[in-house]
Structures are given as C-alpha cells and as structure tokens.
C-alpha cells in the first residue's frame, strides 16, 4: 500500500522500521532472525537503506522483494542519485515498478570517493530530480529525508528548510533523521507550514545502544546529543546491557512525547537489532493502552 494512502486511511499513528541490507554471511543471518521476529508484530512499513554510490544496490533490491513477497512488510526502497547515471536510475525504478513495489525514499546520498580523492557525483545532483522522475514517469509514492536540525551540508537552517519544502511540494511524505528533542521536530513542522507545505513528516527515532555508535551516527548526521541525554547514559558506559536498557527508555519516552503531539507515526532506525526495536514498540503500545 502506498505510504501516503496508509497515513490518510489509518485511524492511528503508524509504526515503521529501517533495515540495512546484509553485507556478510554473519549480517545476513542476523537480518534473517530479525525479519522472523518483525513479521510477528504489526509494522506498517519497512524502509531499506542503500549504500553510498549503490554499493548495496543488488542486496537492497533483493531485500525489498523479500519483504514484499515473503514477509508482507510493505517495503520502502531507498534510492540515491550519487554516482548513478540517469539511465541507471530509470532502470532501477523500472525494476521496482515492474515487481509491484509502490514506495520509494529518494535521496541524494553520500557519493563515494574515487582513487584521486574526488567525490563521484551522479548525473542528478539533487534528490528533487529523482523525486520528479519517480513520480512523473513511474507513478511511485515518494518520500524524502528531513533533518530537524538541518542537513550538515546546508549553508544555513533556513536554506535547508527551503530545499526540503521544495522537495515536499512534489514528494508525498518525509522521514526525518534521528533527533532527541521534540521541539526540533515541532520547529521543522512549523517552518514547513510557513513555507506552504503540510505533507506528512514521520519522525525518525534511534535508541542509543552504545556510546561509540551514538557518537559516530551523530557525527555523520549532524545530530546534536543533548547534554541531559549524555548525562543520563554516561553512568552505564561500562555496562553494555544497562546502557542499552537506558537507551531504550530514552527512545520510548521520545516516541510517546512525539505521539502526544499528533505525529503521523514513528520510524525506528533498527540497525537490524530486532530485540531493542520490539522492546520499544511493546513499551510504547503498552503505555498508550494504559492511558
């Protein structure tokens, strides 16, 4: 089902996840175990990431089809413009359409660096060009990425908002990068409304499961880790299990606060960790049922 239609028709907030295509035999086994668990709960859609420059192109495509046909998890395929020609993008979009895939997340992506140290940029330099192609010629439901704190490559927050509004005037929905302050999300929505855009923006949530992973992901995404979160997690840095438990509680509280604000859904960046993700969903739904 197309995501925009799902949001419009649902009487509740959506619950969705992001998965990574496997790169090794070990990660393939871990993902297979995760998919078996995810298939037992009510998940509205699963987005599938795409490596820089198409490095996981075939794995992404295979996983998208597996989710659709074997696990019935309503896949959203990530696709990036970086290092791809327009013909390559048309070929990939055509494969998805011909296989009955209806949803796409259109991204610029991180271009790989060639041997001379230069970024390999594709024919399309902006995600908007991919959005237009996917919608106009392939009739897909297309989402885009949103950054509550601004994209790290943007010249300013205002500039980032204008680019996002331009994309969302064509696209059907957005999924945000992870963040930890509800006010950052609310400001994003307010800024978009001032720019004449009211398309659904689904907040992305990532549970902190280890300090090293949190710091690395924050650096890559430009996300700021609030001091109160750091202080809350710091006592458990030497205890992985306790850190993961505290991080899961942070994610649950953020999800509940966002749902209180009437968001269209919550999207969990799982890092293919089924147990943590299911703990979040169970706790969130349990809290909602007790209200």
- For residue 275, is pLDDT > 60? yes
Alpha-carbon separation of residue 105 from 143, 195, 229 (angstroms)? 5, 22, 30
The beta-strand segments (E) located in the chain are 14-19, 45-48, 75-80, 103-107, 141-146, 173-178, 201-205, 265-269
Q: What is the pLDDT of residue 214?
A: 84
How far apart CA 216 and CA 79 sit, in angstroms, is: 23
What is the per-residue pLDDT across 48-89, written as a single tens digit (0 to 9) for each? 998 765 567 788 899 999 999 998 899 999 999 987 899 999
With 0-12 / 13-18 / 19 or more C-beta atoms within 10 angstroms meaning exposed / middle / buried, residue 55 is middle
What domains sit in the chain, N to C, each tagged with a CATH number? 3-283 (3.20.20.220)
Question: Given 5, 8, 18, 137, which residue is catalytic?
Answer: 18
18 is catalytic: yes
Alpha-carbon separation of residue 141 from 66, 168, 173 (angstroms)? 19, 12, 8
Alpha-carbon separation of residue 244 from 174, 214, 247 (angstroms)? 28, 11, 5
The beta-strand segments (E) located in 108-260 are 141-146, 173-178, 201-205
Q: What is the pLDDT of residue 23?
A: 83
Residues near 291 by beta carbon (within 8 Å), at least 6 away in sequence: none
Contact (CB, 8 A) for 259 and 288: yes
Q: At what angle do helices 240-260 and 274-290 cross, to 10 degrees?
A: 40
Residues near 127 by beta carbon (within 8 Å), at least 6 away in sequence: 81, 106, 107, 108, 144, 145, 167
What is the per-residue pLDDT across 165-199, written as a single tens digit (0 to 9) for each? 999 999 999 999 999 999 999 999 999 999 999 99
pTM over 0.75: yes
- Distance from chain centroid for Cα 203: 9
Of the candidates 196, 192, 184, 230, the one whose C-alpha atom is nearest the C-alpha of residue 211 is 230
Q: At what angle do helices 240-260 and 182-194 cross, to 10 degrees?
A: 40
- For residue 255, is pLDDT > 50? yes
What is the per-residue pLDDT across 106-127, written as a single tens digit (0 to 9) for each? 999 865 555 444 456 678 889 9
């Amino acid at each position: 089902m197309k995501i925009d239609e799902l949001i419009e028709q649902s009487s509740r907030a959506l619950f969705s996840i992001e998965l990574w295509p496997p790169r090794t035999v070990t990660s393939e086994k871990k993902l297979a175990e995760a998919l078996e668990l995810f298939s037992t709960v009510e998940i509205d859609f699963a987005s599938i990431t795409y490596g820089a420059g198409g490095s996981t192109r075939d794995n992404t495509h295979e996983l998208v089809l597996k989710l659709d046909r074997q696990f019935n998890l309503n896949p959203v395929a990530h696709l990036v413009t970086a290092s791809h020609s327009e013909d390559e993008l048309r070929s990939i979009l055509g494969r998805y359409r011909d296989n009955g895939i209806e949803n796409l997340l259109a991204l610029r992506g991180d271009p790989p660096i060639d041997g001379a140290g230069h970024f390999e940029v594709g024919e399309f330099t902006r995600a908007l060009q991919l959005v237009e192609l996917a919608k106009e010629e392939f009739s897909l439901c297309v989402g885009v990425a949103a950054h509550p704190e601004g994209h790290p490559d943007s010249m300013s927050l205002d500039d980032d908002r204008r680019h996002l509004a331009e994309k969302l005037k064509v696209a059907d929905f957005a999924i945000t990068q992870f963040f930890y302050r509800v006010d950052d999300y609310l400001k994003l929505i307010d800024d978009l409304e001032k720019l004449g855009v009211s398309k659904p923006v689904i907040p992305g949530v990532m549970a902190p499961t280890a300090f090293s992973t949190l710091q690395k992901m924050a650096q890559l995404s430009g996300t700021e880790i609030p001091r109160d979160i750091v202080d809350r997690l710091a006592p458990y840095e030497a205890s992985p299990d306790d850190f993961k438990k505290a991080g899961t509680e942070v994610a649950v509280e953020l999800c509940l606060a966002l749902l209180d604000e009437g968001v269209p859904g919550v999207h969990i960046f799982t890092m293919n960790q089924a147990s943590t993700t299911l703990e979040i969903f169970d706790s969130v739904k349990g809290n909602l049922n007790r209200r």
